[in-house]
Chains A and B, each alone.
Chain A
Amino acid sequence: MAYSDKVIDHYEHPRNVGAFEKEEEGVGTGMVGAPACGDVMRLQIKVNDDGVIEDAKFKTYGCGSAIASSSLVTEMVKGKTLEEAQEIKNKDIAEELALPPVKIHCSVLAEDAIKAAVEDYNKHRDEAGEGDSERQSA
């Protein structure tokens, strides 16, 4: 399979590899895919008080396109608000990386990873919010 230069660049020099502490304040973690399907992506976002994603990290088990898609996504979400990040579509990722049709599912997975990370962040924030209100009432 011939890969585009962009896929190879992200694959050979993946951006923002790593992890944040899952329980750290402002962190949202999205893990999508399954080992049996050949790809698992874990995307983490760190959101500041203004609701802007100030940092992102990933780890991916999968083919070169899956690794490149998640690496690219960490760059794309940085500096975006949660709302803006959720507007990123798999098509944007696939076009940017010039993914062949057989690898489109990698970009779909990357889009799912963003959604899952934002959802996780919102869940944590809501839980923390409830905790605060409980404390206040006590």
Chain B
Amino acid sequence: MKTPIYLDYAATTPTDPRVAKEMCRYLTPEDGLFGNPASRSHAFGWKAEEAVEAARKNVADLIGASPKEIVWTSGATESDNLAIKGAAHFHQKKGKHIVTCKTEHKAVLDTCRQLERDGFEVTYLVPEENGLVDLDKLAAAIRDDTILVSLMHVNNEMGVIQDMAAIGKLTRERKVLLHVDAAQSAGKVPIDVEAMNIDMLSLSGHKAYGPKGIGALYVRRKPRVRIEALIHGGGHERGLRSGTLPTHQIVGMGEALRIAREEMAAENERVRMLRDRFLDGISDIEAVYVNGDLEHRVPHNLNISFAYVEGESLMMALKDLAVSSGSACTSASLEPSYVLRAIGRDDELAHSSIRFSMGRFTTEEEIDYAVRLIHEKLDKLRELSPLWEMYKEGVDLSKVQWSAH
């Protein structure tokens, strides 16, 4: 077993070796597959185009879409931008109101903030304590001038799964477009854009054992969803996203999602066993809280608050484990996780949270090692913690007058 142990699959996954092998064929000269898929005048171009279209079909198949509805992008962040800005700008004559949720990824939240600067109005729903959006509250937030609802399928920090079918039913009834960020759900939870009435769906390559730098946006054709392009140029991807297609990246994402479709059920079972082993291993530790709903949750993610110990110092102690405290994107700041605050966790528990995310290459041995290490280091840090001492003495910390700084 090698250390550090990678338990940050929600940040990124390693590329599956089967995927990497396939990608290499489209880079080097041997097989003549390196061509520009837009080259129509020779076999190099034709072969590359063929590979791109095969990959497109693999992506479409995973989500129950037609290949014609898939647009390649540079990743889920671009897909989110294209979907939200693209739909907002196209439909602004109809209305300028958008509904999203406080626990969305920054790629959605910051895009919405930008639209607010452009004169749009955005409602940020507050999720329930379990991390899920209440349908009645969503229904109440939709107005006559609402053009778009953007909600994520699986939350990146907590791993909770939204009931997309119920949300899609509602948005369809209310004739509002539904965009779904599925970066964290593709390959972990079945997605069916038809059954779920999803109009646009963002996908990422590197969260599902594909390469970084590639993503896709599903844009519904029946009934047709119209959006404005963000990137203009050679008119690639039906004018929705210009730029030479990175064949090897696309092949990688296609292969990754093909494997995901075929192996999802078995892999989920295996990861669930690892997750349960982990939870079982730490169940004897006092004052530990799992953040987010335990049932409506992908098995890959465990977001845990270890009360009376600060998250960053715990991460430092767990240096043999590659984990993150809240969203990796915000770990440079001193602010506690905005996601945990949105579900009503108090600041202290938000400061004390660690996200463990496991996946395809995680082993039982690694989980057992992690459990042992957590026991050992947590004990040490709690011995150091005045809050732990006060808790053990029966002091109610919420009643203490702290000198805020």
Q: Which residues of A contact B (CB under 8 A)?
A: 1, 3, 11, 14, 17, 19, 31-42, 59-64, 66-67, 102, 105, 108-109, 112
- Among the listed A31, A32, A63, A67, which residue makes an inter-chain contact with B405, where contact means beta carbons less than 8 Å apart? A32
Pairs A–B under 8 Å by Cβ, sample size 25: A1-B312, A11-B316, A14-B384, A17-B383, A19-B389, A32-B405, A33-B403, A35-B347, A35-B348, A36-B348, A37-B404, A38-B334, A38-B336, A59-B385, A60-B384, A60-B385, A61-B387, A63-B310, A64-B316, A67-B384, A102-B332, A102-B334, A105-B405, A112-B403, A112-B405
**A109 CA to B312 CA, complexed, in Å:** 17
**A60 CA to B384 CA, complexed, in Å:** 6
A34: which B residues are within 8 A, CB to CB? 402-405
B386 close to A17 (CB less than 8 A):
no
Q: Which residues of B contact A (CB under 8 A)?
A: 308-310, 312-313, 316, 332, 334, 336, 346-348, 351, 383-389, 397, 402-405
B351 close to A67 (CB less than 8 A):
no
| Known A39-B310, A66-B310; 11 more pairs at CB < 8 Å | A14-B384, A35-B351, A35-B397, A36-B402, A37-B347, A37-B404, A60-B385, A61-B309, A61-B310, A62-B313, A63-B312
Provide the main secondary structure of the chain A interface. Answer: mixed
Q: Within the complex, what minimum Cβ distance (angstroms) separates B385 from chain A?
A: 4
A17: which B residues are within 8 A, CB to CB? 383-384
**A62 CA to B385 CA, complexed, in Å:** 8
A37 close to B405 (CB less than 8 A):
yes
**A19 CA to B388 CA, complexed, in Å:** 13
A63 close to B313 (CB less than 8 A):
yes
**A17 CA to B382 CA, complexed, in Å:** 11
B336: which A residues are within 8 A, CB to CB? 38
A38 close to B402 (CB less than 8 A):
no
Residue of A nearest to B335 (CB): A38
| CB within 8 Å: A-B pair count | 81
**A34 CA to B308 CA, complexed, in Å:** 12
Residue of B nearest to A42 (CB): B386
**A63 CA to B313 CA, complexed, in Å:** 4
A61 close to B385 (CB less than 8 A):
yes
A1: which B residues are within 8 A, CB to CB? 312, 332
B347: which A residues are within 8 A, CB to CB? 35-38
**A19 CA to B397 CA, complexed, in Å:** 18
A59 close to B386 (CB less than 8 A):
yes
Q: Within the complex, what minimum Cβ distance (angstroms) separates B332 from chain A?
A: 8
In the A-B complex, the 10 residue pairs with the closest CB atoms: A34-B402, A36-B347, A35-B348, A59-B386, A42-B386, A63-B312, A38-B351, A61-B385, A64-B316, A61-B387
Q: Within the complex, what minimum Cβ distance (angstroms) separates A8 from chain B?
A: 8
Q: Within the complex, what minimum Cβ distance (angstroms) separates B227 from chain A?
A: 39
B334 close to A40 (CB less than 8 A):
no
**A122 CA to B274 CA, complexed, in Å:** 56
Q: Within the complex, what minimum Cβ distance (angstroms) separates B357 from chain A?
A: 20
A112: which B residues are within 8 A, CB to CB? 403, 405
B388: which A residues are within 8 A, CB to CB? 61
A31 close to B313 (CB less than 8 A):
no
**A62 CA to B312 CA, complexed, in Å:** 8
A32: which B residues are within 8 A, CB to CB? 403, 405
**A1 CA to B331 CA, complexed, in Å:** 9
A40 close to B405 (CB less than 8 A):
no
Residue of A nearest to B403 (CB): A32
Q: Within the complex, what minimum Cβ distance (angstroms) separates B33 from chain A?
A: 41
Q: Within the complex, what minimum Cβ distance (angstroms) separates A50 from chain B?
A: 29
A67 close to B313 (CB less than 8 A):
yes
B312: which A residues are within 8 A, CB to CB? 1, 38, 63-64
B351 close to A40 (CB less than 8 A):
no
Query: Which of B384, B389, B403, B404 has most A Cβ within 10 Å?
Result: B384
A35: which B residues are within 8 A, CB to CB? 347-348, 351, 387, 397, 402
